[in-house]
């Protein structure tokens, strides 16, 4: 980005800290409502979680399993809107659930039909029950023993980092400002202890400057506590960080345009194996960590978990080699 501290030295309505999906979305919302908006990102846009997702635009099948209908309905609506507003970055993706019990086909067909219905006019297509033969045609490397049937449902897939860049461009187009490599290192407060701006350190020149705003939004994701600490070091643990990983496998492990969805892993979550740029992305995990890092490392237990779960469902077994 063009860097000119003087350009940012004005009174803003909104300063948004964090250039991930949440911050960029918030800033675009603010600027398109007519507010003077500045977004500050300490690294590159989508440096954090927002470039490392499973790339699904979904309503959250697992939240449906937990009975959180309102959350799923809202997410499905957003899925539909994103597919319309960013059609160049989103595509429809078929997911197949292989059923290894006689009742699985009926159970998941029923549940995912509700998922379709909740998406209303923004539905991406109907859920289908398919027999064993068709399931193996769609997922040629899925384990055939004890396979009864499959359920095919539609969800969205998107390019998360491209979306972040396009959101940043849209903010600028709408008259807002976005600045990367600009780390918020402190909050400015008035005599009533109210936050009135931020102190920024340019990560390229190491110069610092101050910017003022009526509203400061903390959209730093897993780093939220750092900003809260600037406001009040005794704030307590507001966000408990966790990490998740994916393994990227050669396409030969799942040579298909359909994705594999495992609805219940040994730790009670869902696991996806999704085609992505001639590879297959398999994930994810969810492990609590003490301190979040900008370059998190996969833990041995996470890699083992994904390999083991994938081995349970695939005839071509992925290993560490």
Ligand X SMILES: Cc1cc2nc3c(=O)[nH]c(=O)nc-3n(C[C@H](O)[C@H](O)[C@H](O)COP(=O)(O)OP(=O)(O)OC[C@H]3O[C@@H](n4cnc5c(N)ncnc54)[C@H](O)[C@@H]3O)c2cc1C
Nearer to ligand X, 11 or 242 (CB): 242
Which range of residues in 51-59, 62-70, 94-102, 171-179 is near ligand X by CB under 6 A?
51-59
Smallest separation, CB 68 to ligand X (Å): 15
Out of 8, 12, 14, 17, the only residue in the binding site for ligand X (CB under 6 A) is: 17
Query: Binding to ligand X by residue 221, rule CB under 6 A?
Result: yes
Residue 93: phi and psi, rounded to 5, are -130, 130
Nearer to ligand X, 25 or 150 (CB): 25
Smallest separation, CB 26 to ligand X (Å): 9
SS3 11: strand
Over its C-alpha atoms, the chain yields an Rg (Å, rounded) of 22
By CB under 6 A, the residues from 184 to 203 that bind ligand X are 184
Nearer to ligand X, 191 or 290 (CB): 290
Nearer to ligand X, 49 or 113 (CB): 49
Smallest separation, CB 307 to ligand X (Å): 16
Which residues partner with 99 through β-bridges? 149
Out of 8, 15, 16, 22, the only residue in the binding site for ligand X (CB under 6 A) is: 22
CA 145 to chain CA centroid, Å, is 34
Query: Binding to ligand X by residue 167, rule CB under 6 A?
Result: no
- How many Cβ atoms sit within 10 Å of the Cβ of residue 30? 24
The answer to whether the beta carbons of residues 281 and 302 sit under 8 Å apart is: no
By CB under 6 A, the residues from 275 to 304 that bind ligand X are 283-284
Query: Binding to ligand X by residue 168, rule CB under 6 A?
Result: no
Query: Binding to ligand X by residue 61, rule CB under 6 A?
Result: no
Nearer to ligand X, 224 or 256 (CB): 224
Smallest separation, CB 17 to ligand X (Å): 5
Q: E strands within 192-296? A: 195-202, 208-218, 242-243, 246-250, 259-262, 271-276, 279-283, 287-288
**CA-CA distance, 43 to 194, in Å (whole number)?**
27
Total binding residues for ligand X by CB under 6 A? 30
Start-to-end CA distance of the chain, whole Å, equals 41
**CA-CA distance, 16 to 99, in Å (whole number)?**
45
Query: Binding to ligand X by residue 23, rule CB under 6 A?
Result: yes
**Total residues belonging to the chain:** 321
Smallest separation, CB 38 to ligand X (Å): 11
The answer to whether the beta carbons of residues 206 and 183 sit under 8 Å apart is: no
Find the angle CA(79)-CA(240)-CA(49) to the nearest 5 degrees: 40
The answer to whether the beta carbons of residues 265 and 310 sit under 8 Å apart is: no
Query: Binding to ligand X by residue 56, rule CB under 6 A?
Result: yes
Residue 212: phi and psi, rounded to 5, are -110, 150
By CB under 6 A, the residues from 235 to 264 that bind ligand X are 244
Smallest separation, CB 226 to ligand X (Å): 6
- 255, 277, 249, 281: which is closest to 140 by C-alpha? 255
The answer to whether the beta carbons of residues 186 and 198 sit under 8 Å apart is: yes
Smallest separation, CB 58 to ligand X (Å): 6
Query: Binding to ligand X by residue 159, rule CB under 6 A?
Result: no
Query: Binding to ligand X by residue 183, rule CB under 6 A?
Result: yes
Instruction: Give residues in contact with ligand X (CB under 6 A).
Output: 17-23, 40-43, 47-50, 53-56, 183-184, 219-223, 226, 244, 283-284
């Amino acid at each position: 980005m063009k860097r000119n501290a003087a350009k940012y030295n004005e009174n803003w309505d909104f300063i948004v800290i964090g250039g991930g999906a949440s911050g960029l979305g918030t800033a675009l919302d603010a600027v398109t409502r007519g507010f003077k908006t500045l977004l500050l990102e300490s690294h590159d846009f989508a440096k954090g979680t927002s470039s490392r997702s499973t790339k699904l635009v979904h309503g959250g099948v697992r939240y449906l399993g937990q009975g959180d209908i309102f959350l799923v309905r809202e997410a499905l609506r957003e899925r539909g809107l994103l597919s319309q507003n960013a059609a160049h970055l989103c595509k429809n993706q078929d997911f197949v659930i292989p059923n290894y019990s006689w009742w699985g086909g009926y159970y998941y067909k029923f549940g995912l039909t509700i998922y379709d219905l909740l998406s209303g006019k923004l539905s991406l297509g109907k859920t289908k029950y398919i027999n064993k033969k068709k399931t193996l045609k769609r997922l040629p490397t899925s384990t055939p023993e004890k396979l009864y049937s499959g359920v095919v449902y539609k969800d969205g897939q998107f390019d998360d980092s491209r979306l972040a860049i396009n959101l940043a461009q849209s903010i600028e187009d709408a008259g807002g400002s976005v600045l990367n490599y600009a780390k918020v290192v402190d909050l400015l407060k008035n005599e009533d202890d109210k936050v009135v701006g931020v102190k920024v350190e340019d990560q390229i020149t190491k110069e610092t400057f101050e910017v003022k705003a009526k509203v400061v939004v903390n959209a730093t994701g897993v780093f939220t506590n750092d900003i809260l600490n600037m406001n009040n070091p005794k704030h307590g643990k507001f966000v408990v960080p966790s990490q998740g990983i994916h393994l990227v496998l050669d396409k030969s492990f799942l040579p298909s345009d359909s994705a594999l969805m495992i609805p219940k892993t040994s730790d009670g979550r869902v696991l996806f194996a999704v085609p992505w740029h001639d590879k297959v992305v398999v994930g994810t995990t969810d492990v609590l960590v003490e301190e979040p890092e900008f370059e998190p490392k996969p833990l041995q237990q996470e890699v083992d978990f994904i390999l083991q779960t994938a081995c349970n469902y695939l005839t071509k077994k992925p290993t560490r080699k």
